[in-house]
A and B are shown apart, each in its own frame.
Chain A
Amino acid sequence: MNTVARYPEPYVPAVWRVEERRWETANTVTFALSPPPQGFTESFAPGQFNMLYTFGVGEVPISISGDPASPATMVHTIRAVGSVTRILAGLEPGSAIGLRGPYGSAWPLEDARGRDLILLAGGLGLAPLRPAICHALANRGAYRRLVIICGTRSPENLVFRDELEGWTGMRGVQCLVTVDHASPDWPGHVGTILQQIRRAEFDPDNAMACVCGPEIMMRHSAEALIGLGMPANAIHLSLERNMKCAVSRCGHCQFGPHFLCGEGPVFRYDRIAPLLGVAEV
């Protein structure tokens, strides 16, 4: 899973095809992409991303949201918010997409072996965490308690809803879902993700947390976990910046002394905490 090769020419995308498309919400879609005819043998690690290219329009970094056990079907979840992602979201099965990758650092799941694993997602942050969840469920015996916490704006904005329901009923898995607001017919929890962290059952001295979502949410979540006794070096965040080259050359994604595309997107919290919340970075 951790053998990550590189393309000989890092800027040349391979042509993949949309095999299947599923709308998660009104503006968010999950694609399964099939590889080029010449084949594709690279694996990816949970937490990594690909650069997806819509021909003649532009390229965007998108986290891989598929199962790392099935790397030949590359899965991405895209929210249509800009010129590139709007076109990506509208692509029908059979359409071509340029893809290069996988790039970036991964969730250090090997370090969590024998410990409680907390996967904390805000909004579309569930997409980069889904490969880690798939991996943890497929290797359930490697981890102690598995806690999945997911917060989003409203029930209509929940992605991977069927899977969340499945994980909720799974033995040995605590899956806590919350939304910021809801209509009265929503039977679930309403409130911030911080309240769900308080309800999570884990041993803070022997746990690892992977957190992905808006930066403010990640910062507050990390502080909440530390408040419960978890060491800062057991918390990992996935950051997002303006990635262009994806190979640590162009500098567009610079974050203080770091290039997010190469050293990140996954960082250990204690290494980047001083930079979070600094407006000038």
Chain B
Amino acid sequence: METTPLDRIVASHPFFQGLSPDICALIAGCGRNVHFKPGGWIFRQGDSADAFYVIRHGKVALEMPGAGQAIVFQTVGEGDILNASWLVPPYRCASDARAVEVTRAIAFDAVCLRGKCDQDHHLGYELMKRFVPVMVERLTHARMQALDLYAPEAARP
């Protein structure tokens, strides 16, 4: 099978490490290169989660909009993935995502990839094996942030 530049990028990305060339090609078939300027919105909370991103270069701030100023609760960068909401119904983005720096990524079409996963459960399983650890790790980090570990302790002398 002939490989494309995108196939090779997918195959060499740490997130997809260990996947066979065939599966990499299947995944890459739903992908396209994208880039965002600093300050540009990648998605907004409530948007249809019609893509997930593998960041190749740059930095993205995940923000929670609210009354007054938004709060940045995480930044992601090179090697990270962005927007796990593509996996979970009702497929809505859970936060805002804004490029902090010039950001280059591969955007994977969610409908395309979900369709391939429905047809090929092995592909779906391989993707789940890669997404679930990231989500568990982010949940752990979110718990640590929620504990507010660095808050002043009132009980000190």
Contact = CB atoms under 8 A, between A and B. Distances in A.
Contacts, number: 81
A35 to B, nearest CB: 24
B71 A182 contact: yes
B150 to A, nearest CB: 4
B118 interface: no
Given A192-B141, A220-B144, A184 B72 contact: yes
A153 B71 contact: no
B154 A122 contact: no
A27 B152 contact: yes
- Category for how many chain A residues contact B: 35 or more
Contact of A217 (B70, B71, B144): B144
Interface residues of B, number: 28
Contacts of B72: 181-184, 186, 190
Contacts of A183: 69-72
Contacts of B136: none
Contact of A190 (B74, B147, B151, B154): B74
Interface in A116-165: 122-124, 151-153, 157
A84 B157 CA distance: 6
A279 interface: no
Nearest to B149: A214
Interface of B: 59, 61-63, 69-75, 98, 100, 140-141, 144-145, 147-157
Given A183-B69, A189-B75, A192-B144, 11 more contacts: A27-B152, A82-B157, A83-B157, A85-B156, A123-B149, A183-B71, A184-B63, A190-B75, A194-B140, A213-B149, A217-B149
